[in-house]
Structure 1
Amino acid sequence: MIGKTREYPKEIMILEAIVRRFPRDDFKKAEFERKLYRKRAGYKGEKALDYFLEQVDHSEMVILNDLRIPINSTHFQIDTLIITPYFLLIIDSKNYAGTLIFLPEFNQLIRIQNDIEEVFPDPILQTKNQAYQLKTFLKKHSMTPPPIEYLVAISNTQAIIKNPTNDREVSYRVFRSSNVAFKLPLFYQKHTQSLLSKNDIKKIARHLVKAHEPLIPDPKSMNLPFNKMVKGVQCPACEAFGMDYHQGKWTCKNCGHKTGDAHIQALRDYFLIFGSSINSKQFRDFTNVKSSSTAKRLLTSMDLNFFGTTKGRTYSPGKNFFD
């Protein structure tokens, strides 16, 4: 069963809002675009692994996706954790393109793409560290885990994987995501003793899900040009900003597209960039809505919580506002 689903990361939502609203003539925009590209690629790789794991028999396992667990004064992250009665399995997804050359002797991964050579940290060592941290965490909370295995899944189907030193650890730990159904039986053959009951598995899963602390970056720490971020409602058709609201419809001045709910994405952007509270005046300023009664009607029509009296009322996202 899936004990924790993989949700669209709040970090990506924040970066998307920043890129949408970043001043076009600011050279720093490219930096955020590159970061967003990497984060989206990583998430795409994780979802590719999820797809192939869906085709595996779940009757004896619990799958936890996207864990971020506190340990001492820091956190460790796990893309995918499979809990079985016989072993725990950590899978780290990599969606790198190009030629991937594993050099475990130096704990390096070399990526060659478009004749450019880059060095990445050894993902095998990364997952090995995650296994150590997970074991430490469980023991600290009075849980004795079974053997903890770890794998690196290469999700990009166009990637060329090379193991020039024929290292056994690389051959054993690195695989393509599409091969996960054939990789799992190797661990069942290796670990034949059932060490966890169904209640033990539920206890471990429940404890990890409860300890999970999602990464939510603070835009205030990103040195953003807040006073220059683009205001206005963005057209969902042509992506131009500055839609006008009249008689219950938003109309794009650029392409003429009409819609009734374009303000929702604008408000999401505001919350993601400027913080989780807004009042009527700020909403009108950000969306260019002239009428205070119209602003109130739009705000109260959305999944928002509100605080305070009518005059000093502020609004914040409801439980499902970002769904």
Structure 2
Amino acid sequence: MILKPRTVSTELRFLRHLSRRSMLAEKDVLNYSNKEKGLEGERRFDKCLESLSNETLILHDLLLEHGSHQFFQIDTLMILQRVIYHFEVKNYQGVHYIEKDKWYRENGVELTNPIHQMKRCATLLNKFLQPLHIPLPIKSYVIFIHPEITLFQAPRHLPIILPTQLKAFLKKLNSEAFSSKPIFTSKHEKLANYLLTKHMEDFPYTRVPEYDYDQLQKGIPCCGCSAFLSFFNKGKLVCRSCGYTEAAESGVLRSVEEYKFLFPDRKMTVNSLFEWCGKVVSPNIIRRVLQQNFKLISKGRSSYYV
């Protein structure tokens, strides 16, 4: 049973929007790529967990704080009758190796040790849950989810699950879930509710590239390839790059939501959205979308939508 689904972080949403409308700096491009790959891996793992029974409580993307400014993020937490599983998901691809407790890509570039990341998170989670006095042990694993990962010189004792081990590991979890009754008790509900109420939506210090309205490209980005759509006949938008088509109202609504997200302090007017959408659809279509989805604040020529 999924109590908290996975969501797209605010930082990644910013990077997605800005990457379509501007040239990101090299460091931001790398950060964006890593976050997309990370989310892809986490969703792949989520798909694997769908094979489990409902005798589990699952929470994805928990952001918690212990003490003063000790933030930690849990990719997936699974609560069973007698144990809590904590999973750190890695979407590493290609050849990697370990030497003297250090992790490297095949080209020799050193990586942050995922075991150290996992252990830090597990330590803070243990401390975080101490006030509840719930006697459930926490078992932590790093899940390598990409099927094309090769890891050389990994000690056998490491708490890692490779793709070839995942099927058997999930089978083990399923058997643990069915092994005892009753499944959920008041202590499990107390734990789950505590985690949900303490979850933070975003890191307080999320780093977002600086951007300016005038410097962003105007238009309606394609859902398929992120090129900008052109107006077609019969109220359709078309991407001349990949052939994707979309109803004009749908494309406008996506762009309006993007405008609201990037510029929450700017007023939504027909003229401002006409400009933001690159003037590829008529003001009448934009007005219709705004009227159907937002509330009009009527102030004569200064009317706007919220």
TM-score after normalising by structure 2: 0.80
Shift of 1:64: 0.9
What's 2:186 paired with?
A: 199
SS of the aligned residue for 2:217 comes to coil
- Partner residue in 2 for 1:111: 105
In structure 1, distance between residues paired with 2:244 and 2:78: 50
Q: Confirm or deny that 1:265 pairs with 2:251.
A: no
Among the aligned pairs, what percent are the same residue? 22
Map 1:213-232 onto structure 2 (within 5 A): 213-215=200-202, 221-232=208-219
Q: 1:230 to 1:201 in 2, by over 3 A?
A: same
- Kindly provide the amino acid, as one letter, of the partner of residue 111 in structure 2: F
Deviation at residue 86 of structure 1 after TM alignment: 1.4
1:147 equivalent in structure 2: 137
**Structure 1's 89 and 296: CA in aligned 2 closer, same or farther, altered over 3 A?**
same
Listed one character per residue, the Cα deviations across residues 129-176 of structure 1 (whole Å, up to 9, x for unaligned) are: 111111111124x34341111000111111101235xx3432xx0112
Distance 1:283 1:216, change over 3 A: farther
Name the structure 2 match of 1:320: none
Task: Name the counterpart of 1:62.
Answer: 57
Per the alignment, residue 77 of structure 2 pairs with 81
Q: CA RMSD in A?
A: 3.6
Shift of 1:8: 3.6
Q: How does 1:151-166 map to 2 (within 5 A)?
A: 151-163=141-153
Cα shift readout 1:68-120 (whole Å, capped 9, x = no counterpart) = 112222421000111112111111010111222234x44x32122xxx22211
- SS of structure 1 residue aligned to 2:254: helix
Matched, 1:48 2:39: no
Q: CA deviation at 1:295?
A: 3.6
1:125 match: 116
Query: Is the CA contact (8 Å cut-off) linking 1:10 and 1:216 kept in structure 2?
Result: no
Unaligned runs of 5+ in 2: none
Contact 1:49 1:177 in 2 (8 A): no
Task: Give the CA deviation at 1:21.
Answer: 0.5
- Which residue is equivalent to 1:284? 274
The answer on whether the counterparts of 1:91 and 1:151 sit within 8 Å (CA) in structure 2 is yes
**CA displacement, residues 231-288 of structure 1 (integer Å, 9 cap, x when unaligned):** 1223557754374599855577998967322212222332332237532042232124
Q: 1:275 is aligned with what amino acid?
A: P
CA distance in 1, matches of 2:244, 2:138: 58
**What's the secondary structure of 1:297's corresponding residue?**
helix
Cross-structure match for 1:208: 195
Q: Which residue of structure 2 lines up, in the alignment, with residue 298 of structure 1?
A: 289
| Alpha-carbon distance in 1 for matches of 2:206, 2:89 | 26
Q: Which amino acid in 1 is paired with 2:120?
A: N
Asked whether the equivalents of residues 10 and 202 of structure 2 are also in contact (C-alpha less than 8 Å), the reply is: yes
Residue in 1 that maps onto 2:157: 169
Unaligned runs of 5+ in 1: 317-323
Alignment length, in residue pairs? 297
Match of 1:202, SS? helix
2:169 corresponds in structure 1 to: 183
Paired with 1:148 and 1:264, the residues of 2 have a C-alpha distance of 44
What SS does structure 2 have at the residue aligned with 1:275? Answer: coil
1:7-30, Cα deviation, whole Å (9 max, x unpaired): 3444333211111001xxx4x454
Distance 1:119 1:314, change over 3 A: farther
Q: Which residue of 2 aligns with 1:319?
A: none
CA distance in 2, matches of 1:177, 1:296: 51
Q: Give TM-score scaled by structure 1 length.
A: 0.77
- Distance change (3 Å), C-alpha of 1:272 and 1:219: farther
Specify the code of the residue in structure 2 equivalent to 1:287: C
1:228 maps to amino acid: Q
